[in-house]
Structure 1
Amino acid sequence: MIQLGQILFILSVLVILHEFGHYITARMFKVKVEKFYLFIDAGFSLLKKKIGDTEWGIGWLPIGGYVKLAGMVDESMDMEQMKQEPQPWEFRSKPAWQRLIIMLGGIIVNVLLAWFLYTVVYTTYGQKYVSTDKIQENGLSFGETGLNAGFKNGDKILAVDGAYQPRFNRMVLDALLGDNIEIERNGEKKTIVLSDENKAQILAKEGRDFVGARNLISQVVIDSVAPVKNKPSVFMAGDKLQMLNNKSFVYFDELTDELKNHKGKTVPVTVLRKDAPVTVSLTIDKDGEVGFGENIFLAPSADMAASSVDEVVPGSEADKAKLQEKDIILGFNNRVYESYFDFTSQLKLSADKDVTLNILRGTQRMNLPAHVGKNGKLGFRLKSNNQPSYEIVNKLSVAQAFPEAVKESWQLLIYNVKQFKLILRPKTEAYKHVKSPVGIARALPDTWNWEFIWNFTALFSIGLAFMNLLPIPGLDGGHALFTIAEMITGKTLSEKAMGHVQTAGMIILLTLMVLTFGKDIYQLVADKLL
């Protein structure tokens, strides 16, 4: 429900302000606005009230919104009005330059909204990103699709299409959208060219997670074990991997690479189990895997005494318990836990129950009454003081934040163009990953976080601006294109031709919506049934 609430809130903010852009520019030029609707009122509306000449309402279908301008062929397809003599208050009676401004009003507001939100976020929460330099100090770790594309664990990415990207998340996106990736491998520079087939495989299986930081093997613990084909695992939850075939490793990916040298063989694996080394016999399959990620789930290992609370999710059970950043959690119900794994494992057993958190705040020991959520979580993020931090946080003044907000919005617009070009390349199969609001909602966090919401709203606002700029009939860009053509040639489409064009555009848009909504709804139902 929280995910649904978040997407409805974000869509409502974006739709209302986008349509307000059309409304306010129309009123500036004295065009009569007949309707202003949040969401679509196909057949009926949830709420409506007429104020002056305008009917204000909320539709039942949350896929957008609209303003209906007198004397304009739009989504309403009201052709009867167009058969009458033009009136001074109608859209069609206004000069082309005024009509162009009205058409672009929503897009302009979307861009201004992004500028405003990013300025607020940068001054309030700070400009945050993961540093490319920091995260790849010891090289990078790649998933199966990255390795298949030609990368090797330990590689460092120097540039994509000749450009260096200091933000790691953007660097990963650049790699997926670019072609030539310059890397450093064992001190030598090499170039990897990602084919459309490589990109299709990455997008289908791992997405942006195809590359990440290298984990020290000492920082990884087996979080849980699920049997495969009713065969019990040789591992136990809480095991820490130590050696394979009597060979020790520094990084976890070195161990997984070594597995491929023993395909189809049974080898000894040493784990640390309850602080004691235990050696088990492990059979490696023909692909050089033992089910990591399939029947064995890994999690970061952290020493509770050397870790502190890095973030408390607003509105979460931890927030209600008044847990604070920099608090050191010792345990709960007067039991001390040395490892984060042990703490979270026991916390899951107390799901939907009241507990007493035992914490250290500064030098003072405190007990905080708390209620564990039904998912066995409290809603906080822990930071190990022994593990490296890759995040950069720059808290900016308004004078610094505004130009950065403008720069960020421009970069996001460029990324939208690049992603659209990727979608148009069939071999990448990127079109399969286009999401409707249903799919987007499922990807949102299950806790309410204002910092995330405002960042996502700004990101979505630029995406909405780009989408509406596309020269597709039925979108603002389509209307603007015809208006610009009129300004250049001095000729206008007939009302009949405009009606046909609008109909074609609506068919295209509705078809795309049916496909994306249908795909996401099918996936939602399938996930519930499986």
Structure 2
Amino acid sequence: MEILIKASQFILSLSLLIVLHELGHFIPAKLFKTRVEKFYLFFDYKFSIFKKKIGETVYGIGWIPLGGYVKISGMIDESMDTEQMKQPAQPWEFRSKPAWQRLIIMLGGVFVNFILGIFIYIMLMWSYGEEYLPNENLNNGVWVQDSLAMNLGLQTGDKILTVDDEKIKKFSGLTLEFINGNKFQIERNGEVIDKNIPTDFISQLMDRGKDAGPILFPRYPFTVGKISDDSQNKNSDLKAKDIITSIDGTPLKYYDEAEQILSNYKNTKVKATVLRGKETKEISLNINNEGKLGVVFTTIPFSDLEKLGYYQLADYQYSFTEAIPAGWNKSWKTLTDYVKQLKKIFNPSTGAYKGLGGFISIGSIFPDEWSAESFWNITAFLSIMLGFMNLLPIPALDGGHVVFTLWEMITGKKPGDKFLEYAQVVGFVLLIILLLFANGNDIFRLFK
């Protein structure tokens, strides 16, 4: 059932983005009186799931969910209709239109993707606002228990100040900042220290596996998740959800402090203070010869940590006019973060290519239960990602056509049809290779 919910959201989001992207080409083409022969969601090699001709255009749904297209008369595109190109150019064909009109037609899909992403982020800011744990509010630093964080030279209690000289706004964004960054700065015991992020950090991150969890945590209180069946405290007054705040009079603010404190009381019974709901209780606890209590630790939500006075959360609610710059800023950060990651993918030494994923990876980022906020957040991200990818100067993508059109506008020389045909084939082959590699990565990770 969870897979079905994820898949349904993925298909809905993908379909919406494809249709609107192609509409971005379709509308200016019609405005410039260019004939559009087909408007398709997904590809229709050999046959279509659905098709209907309205006017001069056939609208349909293909069976290969790898994208979509509009077939514009007189244009070298996915259809590779070379026979049409052998005929004399007609006034309604793409190739007969002025270069500036062709440029607008080709940029239309990318324009729609960027505008859609910005619009969704603005509406999300207006509807839901933002709530997060500011990184600067971790007054006693982070909790380090992951080996990768240790390899970065981090210790529990470190305050992470900047990555690439940029101040970190949200604690939840720290891992992404490390992925995109090259250096960082911390404060440890009042001393500011500069450190480098290893070139292969992304490779190390991928090798941990998708279920490894974050590399950094806020520092949590010692909250009891459950008492083990073989625990020496099974019959004590300790309860699940109790927060242990002191051991034998020694204050215990954070769970990461417990090991050192408990090691001083091996094989003894001690008085402990616990917070149970709003009530503070004194109970007796047995500590075994390993300095353990025999309980399982659990985390608690940030909202509960705020109530307990551990952290101050940021909660911003925006009016519509305030949501516009907030949505724009989020769109810009989404784009710049994506560009940084893409640059690292093309540098083999980073190992970022291991993280390249296809349909399984994209589908997996959707939640396993419906959430309108999550769905539209992911759709906005995918829209901006799709817009940027289509701008890449690769033949067969919009960016490739844009480059050839700009060349014509600058030099006054139009690339020949044969050159465009060959370029389209080369671009298409490159995209197929990229598609196979990305989806092959997905399959490899599934078996791994």
TM-score, normalisation: structure 1: 0.72
Q: Distance in 1 between matches of 2:132 and 2:420?
A: 47
Q: Distance in 1 between matches of 2:269 and 2:65?
A: 55
1:138 partner amino acid: N
Q: Which runs of 5+ in 1 are unaligned?
A: 227-231, 285-291, 311-381
Q: Alpha carbons of 1:448 and 1:487: their partners in 2 closer, same or farther (altered >3 Å)?
A: same
Matched, 1:11 2:14: yes
Q: Alpha carbons of 1:225 and 1:144: their partners in 2 closer, same or farther (altered >3 Å)?
A: farther
Q: Distance in 2 between matches of 1:74 and 1:297?
A: 60
Q: Alpha carbons of 1:522 and 1:180: their partners in 2 closer, same or farther (altered >3 Å)?
A: closer
Q: Secondary structure at the match of 2:361?
A: helix
Q: Distance in 2 between matches of 1:520 and 1:53?
A: 41
Q: Distance in 2 between matches of 1:504 and 1:46?
A: 29
Count of residue pairs the alignment pairs up? 427
Q: Distance in 1 between matches of 2:45 and 2:400?
A: 22
Q: Match of 2:88?
A: 85
Q: Match of 1:435?
A: 357
The one of 155, 166, 170 equivalent to 1:167 is 170
Q: Match of 2:417?
A: 495
Q: Distance in 1 between matches of 2:341 and 2:426?
A: 25
Q: Match of 1:35?
A: 38
Q: Match of 1:467?
A: 389
Q: Alpha carbons of 1:150 and 1:36: their partners in 2 closer, same or farther (altered >3 Å)?
A: same
Q: Match of 1:279?
A: 287
Q: Distance in 2 between matches of 1:395 and 1:64?
A: 36
Q: Match of 1:59?
A: 62
Matched, 1:122 2:125: yes
1:83 partner amino acid: K
| Cα displacement (A) at 1:209 | 1.3
Q: Secondary structure at the match of 1:485?
A: helix
Q: Match of 1:399?
A: 321
The 10-residue stretch of structure 1 (54-63 or 383-392) with the greater mean CA deviation from structure 2: 383-392
Q: Match of 1:68?
A: 71
| Cα displacement (A) at 1:52 | 0.9
Tell me how large the CA RMSD over aligned residues is: 3.5
| Cα displacement (A) at 1:172 | 3.5
| Cα displacement (A) at 1:523 | 3.8
Q: Distance in 2 between matches of 1:38 and 1:167?
A: 38
2:136 partner amino acid: D
- Is the CA contact (8 Å cut-off) linking 2:227 and 2:233 kept in structure 1? no
Q: Distance in 1 between matches of 2:109 and 2:228?
A: 51
Q: Match of 2:159?
A: 156
Q: Distance in 2 between matches of 1:515 and 1:269?
A: 58
| Cα displacement (A) at 1:250 | 3.6
Q: Which runs of 5+ in 2 are unaligned?
A: 277-282
- Is the CA contact (8 Å cut-off) linking 2:225 and 2:241 kept in structure 1? yes
Q: Secondary structure at the match of 1:511?
A: helix
Matched, 1:514 2:436: yes
Residues 169-184 of structure 1: matches in 2 within 5 Å?
A: 169-184=172-187
Q: Distance in 1 between matches of 2:64 and 2:396?
A: 18
Residues 196-237 of structure 1: CA deviation (Å, up to 9, x unaligned): 1334213432788112211122xx3346989xxxxx999989
The one of 206, 213, 217 equivalent to 2:218 is 213
2:287 partner amino acid: T
- Is the CA contact (8 Å cut-off) linking 2:306 and 2:312 kept in structure 1? no
| Cα displacement (A) at 1:269 | 9.9
Q: Match of 1:372?
A: none
Q: Alpha carbons of 1:493 and 1:454: their partners in 2 closer, same or farther (altered >3 Å)?
A: same
The 10-residue stretch of structure 1 (99-108 or 111-120) with the greater mean CA deviation from structure 2: 111-120
Q: Alpha carbons of 1:433 and 1:225: their partners in 2 closer, same or farther (altered >3 Å)?
A: farther
The one of 403, 412, 416 equivalent to 2:338 is 416
| Cα displacement (A) at 1:456 | 1.4
Task: Give the fraction of aligned pairs with identical amino acids, expressed as a percent.
Answer: 39
TM-score, normalisation: structure 2: 0.84
Residues 47-103 of structure 1: CA deviation (Å, up to 9, x unaligned): 111111111111222221111111111111111111111111111111111111111
Q: Match of 2:140?
A: 138
Q: Distance in 2 between matches of 1:223 and 1:103?
A: 60
Q: Alpha carbons of 1:458 and 1:251: their partners in 2 closer, same or farther (altered >3 Å)?
A: same
